[in-house]
A and B are shown apart, each in its own frame.
Chain A
Amino acid sequence: MELLGYDRVNGVGVRNHVVVMATVGCAGDAAEKIVQLYPKAKLLVHTQGCAQTPPDIELVEKVLVNLALNPNVYSVLLVSLGCESVSVDKVVDKISSVKNVEVVRVQEKGLSYAVSKGFDVVKRMCEDAEKVSRTTVDFSEIKVAIKCGASDSTSGIISNPVAGRTADLIIEDGGTVIFGETTEIIGAEHILEKRAVNDIVAKKMYKAIDEMEKRAMSMGVDMRGGQPTGGNIRGGITTIEEKSLGAICKTGSSKLVDVVCYGEVPSKKGLIFMDSPGREMEALTGFAAGGAQIILFTTGLGAPQGFPIVPVIKISGNPDVCRRLKEHIDVDLSSVFYGQESLDDAAKRLFDEIIEVASFKPTKAEILGYEKFFNIYVKGPVI
């Protein structure tokens, strides 16, 4: 299987974005103003990067680097404040060995200067990016992340089983599938355990789930209402176990080959689990940092989010939502809900959509510009 993509030194891109990325929350305004002046560039702003414990600062650095290295990104402008805990030099070093990266600092000569300089850099980068064109690339270079969000009862019965069958097709064709949402394995881990390639992978998965469950329990409350969310409960999901059993349907039936840390690029091909929370901003960020070029996103209640540098394909098996939120849903599975299309046929349709989106077709979230969702998942306190 082949598609049209951007052949880069570190993999295949399905988009050719110039990225304006803040290194710290306090530089977000400057980054945003640059993109307002030059909207072809993609904005990545977040709330992390300073006054956190060293392991979290290192994690933020790793995620910033790995996001920049995502093959969908052509080149990067880092927007720094100047005094943040994150080592901008370290981040630049790691990116510059693979692609063009430049930095503007607000504390150098103020906001106006940083924005003006940043605008010039981004304009030049975008002009350079336009000189690059798509070529035929192999599908096996593609990593597809799968997420579910704003789930209801149709997620576990329709959209996740379809996504799972598509995941199997991707892996049969040599591709990689990443799933995460550690919280949403709680209660379903015994099923995934049977699919782990070995005990080490199974143990890594259990460790991640155990730590997530303990973190939730450390608050001394029943986490219901937070997970499952209020929306999930209104949609008919009663417990985290029920949510998880529906959620893991999206992983298909392939063997689980590895477990990676948050934002880490998998070294193996096949089905990969990334330790990550269920919340969209952090989960999508982790997958994009892990090198996913495309994200499949199943939804029951109608999650609209995209991601700045990765096309996010929205899939729903809730006929009412598909009708009301047509402008957000890329793949309408109402026909499966009504028994007019099999799960397998719908999975093939979804697979074809992936190839089209990878090669040229914009997603609904890209068209609407509903894609300013970015945050880095840290485990320690703000200090």
Chain B
Amino acid sequence: MYQRKAIVVNELDNVASALTDLRKGEIIEVKVGNIVYRVRLASDIPFGHKFALKKINRGEHVIKYGEVIGRAVKDIEVGEHVHIHNVESLRARGDLKKSE
């Protein structure tokens, strides 16, 4: 059975989600609307996890579903795993409130 390796939900997104376990070094071709991304993975991406389609600089928004899902806390290169180690939430941050 043919299986897509990754999915991009919206044309505005700068991340894709893996539809199977992906290996570092694999080249993933993924299409959304008329845009085709060709990305070499910089790390293993487990099923359901995200990787960057574009370079996302520290402080820039991470976009999925065409909406902001958080902010990069460090520079994220194309093909890198995008998750809690490099993205922070912008909401319900009681920790930030305390330090204000």
A residues in contact with B82, CB < 8 Å: 238
CB < 8 Å: which of B17, B65, B93, B94 contacts A236?
B17
- Residues of A contacting B89 in the complex (Cβ-Cβ under 8 angstroms): 187, 222, 224, 238-241
- Quick check: is A362 within 8 A (CB to CB) of the other chain? no
Is there contact, CB below 8 Å, between A220 and B48? no
CB-CB under 8 A from A245, the residues of chain B are: 64-65, 67, 69
A373 is an interface residue with CB less than 8 A from chain B:
no
Q: How many angstroms from the CA of A224 to the CA of B50 in the assembled complex?
A: 17
Q: State which of A213, A218, A236 has its C-beta within 8 Å of the C-beta of B48.
A: A236
Query: Are the CB atoms of B17 and A220 closer together than 8 Å?
Result: no
Pick the contact of A217: B7, B17, B94 (CB < 8 A). Answer: B94
Contact A239 B3 (CB under 8 A): no
Contact code string B1-36 (vs A, CB < 8 Å = 1, else 0): 101100101000000011100000000000000000
Does B47 sit within 8 A of A, measured CB to CB? yes
Bound-state Cα–Cα, A236 to B16, Å: 11
Most buried by B among A153, A300, A338: A153
Q: Decide if B88 is an interface residue (CB 8 Å cutoff).
A: yes
Q: What separation, in Å, do the CA atoms of A224 and B89 have in the docked complex?
A: 8
B75-100 contact mask (Cβ, 8 Å, vs A): 1 or 0: 00000001110011111111111100
- Interfacial residues of chain A within 320-375, with CB under 8 A of chain B in the complex: 320, 337-339
Inside 8 A of B92's CB, which chain A residues have their CB?
A: 183, 186, 213, 216-217, 222-223, 227, 240
In the complex, are the beta carbons of A221 and B69 less than 8 A apart? Answer: no
Give Cα A113–Cα B9 distance, bound, in whole angstroms.
61
**B7 touching A157, Cβ below 8 Å:** yes
**CB of A242 closer than 8 Å to a CB of B:** yes
Closest Cβ–Cβ distance, residue A195 to chain B (whole Å):
15
The yes or no answer to A111 lying at the interface (CB within 8 A) is: no
Question: A219: nearest residue on chain B (CB-CB)?
Answer: B94
Within the assembled complex, what's the spacing in Å between the Cα atoms of A3 and B17? 40
A216 to chain B, nearest CB (A): 5
- B residues in contact with A236, CB < 8 Å: 17-18, 46-50, 83
Closest to B89 in A: A239
Q: Which residue of chain A has its CB nearest to the CB of B86?
A: A238
CA distance A246 to B50 in the complex (A): 14
Residues of B within 8 A of A240 (CB): 89, 91-92
Q: Does A316 contact B (CB under 8 A)?
A: no
Contacts of A338 in B (CB 8 A): 1, 3
Of residues 229 through 252 on chain A, the ones whose CB sits less than 8 Å from some CB of chain B are: 233, 235-236, 238-242, 245-246
Q: Mark A305-322, 1 if CB is under 8 A from B, else 0.
A: 000000000000010100
Taking a contact as CB atoms under 8 Å apart, the answer to whether B88 and A239 are in contact is yes
Q: Are A157 and B9 within 8 A (Cβ)?
A: yes
Classify chain A's interface size.
35 or more
Q: Which residues of A contact B50 (CB under 8 A)?
A: 153, 236, 238
Cα–Cα, bound, A183→B92 (Å): 9
Complex Cα spacing A236 to B45, Å: 10
Q: Taking the complex as formed, is A261 at the interface, i.e. its CB lies under 8 A from any CB of chain B?
A: no
In the assembled complex, the CB of B47 is this many whole angstroms from the nearest CB of chain A, namely 7
> A239 and B87: CB pair below 8 A?
yes
Contact indicator B94/A216 (Cβ below 8 Å): yes
Bound complex: CA of A220 vs CA of B97, how far in Å? 7
Bound complex: CA A221 to CA B18 (Å): 30
Q: How close is A64's CB to chain B, nearest CB, in angstroms?
A: 31
Neighbouring B residues of A188 by C-beta, 8 Å: 67
CA–CA, A156 to B15, complex, Å? 15
* Interface positions of A from 270 to 311, Cβ below 8 Å from B: 300
Q: Which 4 A-B pairs have CB atoms at the shortest separation, nearest pair first?
A: A236-B48, A153-B48, A217-B94, A239-B89
Query: Which residues of A are in contact with B by a Cβ distance under 8 Å?
Result: 152-154, 156-157, 183, 186-188, 191, 213, 216-224, 227, 233, 235-236, 238-242, 245-246, 300, 318, 320, 337-339
Q: List 16 A-B contacts (CB under 8 A).
A: A187-B67, A187-B69, A218-B94, A221-B94, A222-B88, A222-B93, A235-B48, A236-B48, A236-B50, A238-B70, A238-B83, A238-B89, A239-B91, A241-B67, A242-B64, A318-B48
Q: Can you add 18 more A-B contacts, CB < 8 Å, to A152-B48, A157-B17?
A: A213-B92, A217-B93, A217-B94, A220-B98, A222-B88, A222-B94, A222-B95, A236-B47, A236-B48, A238-B50, A238-B69, A238-B83, A238-B87, A239-B88, A239-B91, A241-B89, A245-B64, A318-B48
